[in-house]
Chain A
Amino acid sequence: MASYATTAPAEQGSWVQEKIFLGMSLREYLKSLWTPFNIVAAAILVLGLPLFVYRFYAGLGATTNLSQTQPWGLWIGFDMMTGIALAAGGFTIGAAVEIFGLEDYHAIERPAILTGFLGYVVAIVGLIADLGKPWNMVGIFSQNGTQSVLFEVAWCVCCYTSVLALEFAVPFFEWLGWERFYRPLKKILLALTVLSVMFSTMHQSALGSLFIIAPGKLHPLWYSQSMFLFFFVSAVIAGISMVIVESAISHKVFASQFRGHHVDADKLTIGLGKAGAVVMFAYFFLKLQGAIDNHAVEYIGQGFYGKWWLVEMLGFVLLPSVLYAWGARNGRATVVRVGGVIAVTGIILNRVNISIVAYNWDQPNHYVPSWIEIWVSLTLVTAGVLAFRWIVNRMPVLHELDESPHGTH
């Protein structure tokens, strides 16, 4: 907030009041913050932020349950892997609107891009917590670790986060009223979208490629030489599903934002469900093919991992795919939304399964995250949600400026 205040024009009081306090006085604004949701969020942050700092003071050993056999835990498996997957809505919807010309989805493009941007920022912060010497990240640019999948991942994170920042800069500058900045950005939105699809394709798939070098450590049902393909396809599912869930929540929580410009949310949801059903159905068979290719069919249903794989595949891939298809066919948006929630859960489950649950499956002592790891992850998610709400309440995200010049209130 401080940075905005410094850039504010002369009549600072009214500017801050309008832009930051939503037109309320400071007292009114602080009073309006007193809600059960905010109290819970504040409780999480009050402990979580110091824990984040403490991790750098005390080291990874004191704060995490990582070990010599389990070098990656919740901060990579959940914060990074899942954060990036769930951020896929940005490029999925961006491509649908800007490239494929599906104008109907224009209304949900900005929230999807914002989610993508915040997802990436959260993932990067989580990554910084996890790295032993994060300041050496600059080595990505000076050393040529071109043989490494992680090199590709790192470059894609940098490039795509920059693209997302530029895309998000449009509503940001619209909010500030700096026309000189957002006009040119709007003109290159198509180019940015092309770049976002390109970097996302590489990045989402590279996150899967990371595990290709560890065939003995990941359970054969999840391991595949084609993991990059699985990760990319499931990222598209994640993108579509996140947008379904998010627009359902947004319509409830930010109902006032939609005043005056009616968006047929049910119609959009059903359209997304149709697309999601097709992609998920294909993904189901791709995964099955992966298991066959990897000679892992004998593991299906066998032991904990064989059963757990079936739970993921049937309960969190096939079931939501059927719900999407049925809901879309019968025009039942609610069914599609239920499918969306299951699908998003399924993506989280898949990423956590690969990087934590099914990793080191044959080792005697299995990793369970420490409470600090869980709390820091919770803090990051909470911060992401708060940032989303803060921005949506102020900037032209759920509606566009051109349609209503005084959109923000």
Chain B
Amino acid sequence: MKLGRREFLQVGAAGAAALAATPAGAVGGVETPGEGERSVLVDTTVCVGCRGCEAACAEANNLPYPSGDAVAWATQRTTGPSAFTVVNKIEKPSGEDRFVKRQCMHCVEPACASACPVRAIDKEPTGPVAYHGDRCMGCRYCMVACPFRVPKYEYAKAIPLVRKCTFCAERQAQGKKPACVTVCPSGALNFGLRGEMLEEARRRVFGNIGRYTQHIYGEHEAGGTNWMYITDIPFERLGFEVAVNDNSYPKLVKGALGVPPVVMTLWPPLLMGMYAFSHRKGEVKKEEKGGKGEGGHHG
């Protein structure tokens, strides 16, 4: 293992700091998890369904150009290995259309990144959940872990990769906005710090009672996501996973990951103790058989 002691301590310290910081913020209600991370607030009541975001995404990521509207509106689509974002159309009971753009939610504490044993999926401190294909071994545990079922796999290829929205991490590193946000003409995609976006979402939802559904999807889902949605119809109808836990997914396995240190420290002495005990018992038996049953040997 290449990991030096110093790095190991750093990793440990960073982990401890992250663990210590998040619950404090959540419990106190003063801080918001990931409030300093880049985030997008999607206001589905404003989206006109132009699908410019899909086209911009395809261009930015060298993906095939999206299909025409007739195909796109025919079904409720999911993202795929060659489409990192899709816009779906949902008809309201009033006959009005609602459009919803789907892509990776970029969790504040991503299940996929925590699940990756080779850190091919890594969370960047500025918000994006990035993917490094060169490290990926293709175990697809990220796909098992993601509560939103976002990571998609190139099953058709002999040397496949996981594909998903990267939040244009490279563009963001150059100070640019994500491609989809840049082209959005309607103001449905609002880009900014998570704390600000959350405030804006609250202002809209709770400042116009009756106009919006009283829920900000992504505020608490999976412990908080960097893509947040507001709408005026039930989120279930938009195709959102409403059964997603409100807690951070990586935290689910914290108890289970506590097992190895306990086992590694306790098992060897415990087992050796048992060995010593059974060995001694065997010896005593032998001695007694040999007629030396003095009975003075209780260890």
Contacts and interface: CB of A to CB of B under 8 A. Distances in A.
A70 B120 CA distance: 20
A131 B156 contact: no
B235 interface: no
B271 A197 contact: yes
B143 interface: yes
B139 A152 contact: no
Contacts of A64: 155
A380 interface: no
Interface string B1-25: 1110001100100010000000000
Contact of B11 (A98, A99, A146, A215): A146
Interface string B103-143: 00000000101111111100000000000001111111101
Contacts of A140: 117-118
Interface in A241-271: none
Contacts of A135: 137
Nearest to B147: A216
A131 to B, nearest CB: 5
Nearest to B243: A216
Contacts of A61: 155-157
B204 interface: no
Contacts of B275: 98-101, 190, 194
B290 to A, nearest CB: 17
A99 B245 contact: no
Interface in B146-197: 147, 149, 152-161
A213 B111 contact: yes
B148 to A, nearest CB: 10
Scoring B117, B149, B155 by chain A CB atoms within 10 A of each residue's CB, the highest score goes to B117
B279 interface: yes
Given A68-B149, A71-B153, A197-B267, A132 B141 contact: no
Nearest to B78: A68
Given A148-B117, A198-B263, A131 B137 contact: yes
Contacts of A35: none
A100 B249 contact: no
Contacts of B140: 71-72, 132
B118 A136 contact: yes
B260 interface: yes
Contacts of A185: none
A73 B158 CA distance: 18
Contact of A133 (B145, B160, B263): B160
A55 B80 CA distance: 22
A209 B256 contact: yes
Interface residues of A, number: 66
Interface string A177-201: 0000000000000100110011001
Nearest to B245: A215
Contact of A141 (B2, B245, B281): B2
Contact of B145 (A69, A136, A213): A213
B153 A68 contact: yes
Contacts of B159: 132-133
A59 interface: yes
B268 interface: yes
Contacts of B147: 214, 216
A148 B279 CA distance: 39
Interface string A205-216: 110111111111
A166 interface: no
Given A142-B1, A216-B241, A60 B155 contact: yes
A12 to B, nearest CB: 41
A152 B253 CA distance: 12
Contacts of B80: 68
B160 A213 contact: no
B60 interface: no
A198 B267 contact: yes
A282 interface: no
Contact of B278 (A57, A101, A132, A211): A101
B213 to A, nearest CB: 21
A143 interface: yes
B271 A194 contact: yes
Given A59-B157, A68-B153, A149-B253, A132 B259 contact: no
A232 to B, nearest CB: 9
Given A143-B119, A216-B147, A68 B152 contact: yes
Contacts of A131: 137-139
B8 to A, nearest CB: 8
A281 interface: no
Contact of B281 (A57, A101, A146): A101
B255 interface: yes
Interface in A278-320: none
Given A71-B144, A141-B2, A132 B111 contact: no
A150 B115 CA distance: 7
Nearest to A58: B158
B234 interface: no
A367 interface: no
20 contacts: A60-B153, A68-B78, A68-B143, A132-B136, A135-B137, A144-B7, A144-B11, A147-B113, A147-B257, A148-B116, A149-B256, A150-B117, A150-B139, A194-B271, A197-B271, A202-B260, A209-B253, A209-B257, A213-B144, A215-B245
Pairs of residues from A and B, 7 with the lowest C-beta to C-beta distance, nearest first:
A132-B138, A101-B278, A139-B118, A61-B155, A209-B256, A136-B137, A71-B140
